[in-house]
Structure 1
């Protein structure tokens, strides 16, 4: 069964394309169900959607990505030309290698960032819960997560954390004095929690956490020694802060340009905004306001390069582990696909044994000499078991199928 990986990432598509293709976490289950319902040729499916990539992994009845591409174009209301220009198509071993590299952080904007492994696991957990995960994608996800764990434990790629959250804080540190700054974090997910931890270690003066669900903001604020607020307070409170970092799953802008403009009235100190959400949380026009410095996830690549040097050597080691992971996955796939053949082969051999044994017992019951019966049994078993291979050798010799003959030599240990 063909395995397809179809998607876009920061390497192939700008943020405006990626945010149109992004699937909010609460829509993934429904999207997977619709995908399998809409496309008869899709037997299994999983969707990995992060700020840097949207990828669909499918087990298909036929080797044809066009139906999946058409479904994505229709489901996300994006032009086919935009998809053709930015999407990549990977099959089977290449698809497996890609997911292993993704899960290991080798294909991340921040080389070796650890969050992606959890995001891959979550994507396949959602597929399992939706009922779109079968044996093909189960084997793939297990192989990818195992390879990712090996990369993190057997190489130095995880040292000196360089996650998106870390880079966002590093970027802010280069512009403002965190020790004297007030920071506002919008959102309350894993990324924002990491940002809060990095800011706390950097000695930021004060942290505020704003979230659509106030209870979640209060929970995180209590852990981090911060104070919480609802999103409705943003227009009034924005002017109190020097640094704003936003990462939510909102479909529309949370911080508008007009909101930022009002916050800057009568203000002399700069306002540093980092938007690490896809779709974007902060209206891009806010960056045009005097005294405002706005950066998106694509801008983080400038600092990523500075922090990635130490990880490049580890990445070379990691690629070797990926090669081993792919080879192991392919072997497991072949064994699974041929399990029925092995069982059929053993049943046939057992049938030959049983028939020969029944005849031998009958001869013994008829009073034939036991030595003669044993000799005849051995002779019959030998003839029955080698008849098929003998015919195959003769036919292959006539047809000059050297590769087949070589395989038989290897199979039977012949010189």
Structure 2
């Protein structure tokens, strides 16, 4: 049996219907969301600032621009959950968004969602992603040929706005202004001013739009004079005509797609992620009736017991962080031994004895 044939038998008829949202305005995003829900009533739907995707076990002829099936769909889901298709490589928030999309799923669809998220979590546990949303400011400046300096006006007081403001201070802007509909709940880099007062701030070097999806669109003509308008909103924060150069998330993604180093980095991570997905699939196929399955089941029970003890002693650590760290350690320790056990075969006396040994202490 070929690799492709094995994959087909291992993965149910998963279908992914995918829309890109980065170039859509607010009305366009709302229309796609309605279409996704109406045409996929029993699907798991991932909604992020950059994409809307519906995952189902039924074939589909909806008008989505891209359809993926079988192993291709599962690999794509895993890549999305790991943040490999995000403007910020390895974006942390999308893992939780992908997991929550399958909260109401059940059966095989739920199992595939959990498999994809587990593989994505494993990649994040072993990979150091050195970028965050604040670095989109660097990329916008590079694309525009503008040096950091002068005044930076950030619209918004959420997580992205906070990171962009902090990054602006770090790379050398002389003054950082942060405008919002209400004052930030936590300290934020720069000086705060009401959003309605941005027209009176005077000229700035860069305006960075980091307003949430529910915010009203701002006319470019209402902004203060600027060299660059960096629209990091999805849907877009700004509309209209401006003398300044306007750079959007879509522009940043397009620019990165033409950079060999970035393409190579994402490609290498994609290959590693696919290997982790294959490992996760193999692990989930093994039952307690096989030596490897019994070994893993025994170790997993021990991991969960220790996880409960650690969580009780250290309530300040997020449960998801503890789960990811302990799971990663166990997988790394067990990887080579379980691969050797698989090579020995289910009938191996050594494999049976080792599995029994791990189960004796329970």
Q: TM-score with structure 1 length normalisation? A: 0.56
Question: What residue number does 1:15 align with?
Answer: 23
Q: Aligned with 1:178: secondary structure? A: coil
Q: 1:300 aligns with which of 238, 247, 252?
A: 252
The reply on whether 1:323 has 2:298 as its aligned counterpart is: no
**Residue 114 in structure 1 maps to residue 80 in structure 2:** no
Query: Runs (4+) of structure 1 moved beyond 6 Å?
Result: 410-413
- Aligned residue number for residue 256 of structure 1: 219
The 1:195–1:135 alpha-carbon spacing in structure 2 relative to 1, beyond 3 Å, is farther
Deviation per residue, 1:35-86 (Å, 9 max, x gap):
4xx67x8545232322x3221223x4xx3213xx3xxxxxxxxxx5xx4xxx
Equivalents in 2 of 1:333, 1:92: separation in Å?
A: 17
- CA distance in 1 between counterparts of 2:347 and 2:185 reads 67
Matched, 1:3 2:14: yes
Contact persistence 1:22–1:49 (CA under 8 A): no
For the Cα contact (< 8 Å) 1:18–1:53, is it kept in 2?
no
Question: 1:316, 1:271 → 2: CA distance?
Answer: 34
Q: Residues of 1 paired with 2:153 and 2:25: CA distance? A: 28
* 1:158-307 equivalent positions in 2, closer than 5 A: 158-159=129-130, 161=131, 163=132, 165-172=134-141, 175-179=145-149, 181-212=150-181, 214-215=182-183, 218-220=184-186, 222-224=187-189, 226-237=190-201, 239-250=202-213, 254-260=217-223, 263-264=224-225, 270-283=226-239, 285-287=240-242, 289=243, 292-301=244-253, 303-304=255-256
Deviation at 1:257, TM superposition (A): 3.3
Deviations 1:324-382 (A, max 9, x none): 2332444466568x9xxxxxxxxxxxxxxxxxxxxxxxxxxxxxxxxxxxxxxxxxxxx
Whole-angstrom distance in 1 between the partners of 2:90 and 2:272: 17
CA contact (8 A) 2:78 2:119 kept: yes
Correspondence for 2:79 among 95, 98, 101 = 101
Structure 1: any 5+ residue segments left out of the alignment? 70-79, 265-269, 339-409
Contact in 2 for aligned 1:147/1:321 (Cα 8 Å):
no
Flag the 1:232–1:295 CA change in 2: closer, same or farther, 3 A. same
Q: TM-score, normalised by structure 2?
A: 0.63
* Cα deviation code 1:70-116 (max 9, x no counterpart): xxxxxxxxxx5xx4xxx211223222100112233333455xx121x
Gaps of 5+ in 2: 1-11, 290-344, 349-362
Is the CA contact (8 Å cut-off) linking 2:256 and 2:262 kept in structure 1?
no
In the TM superposition, residue 196 of structure 1 has moved relative to its aligned partner by: 1.8
Q: Which has the larger radius of gyration?
A: 1
Cα RMSD (Å) = 3.9
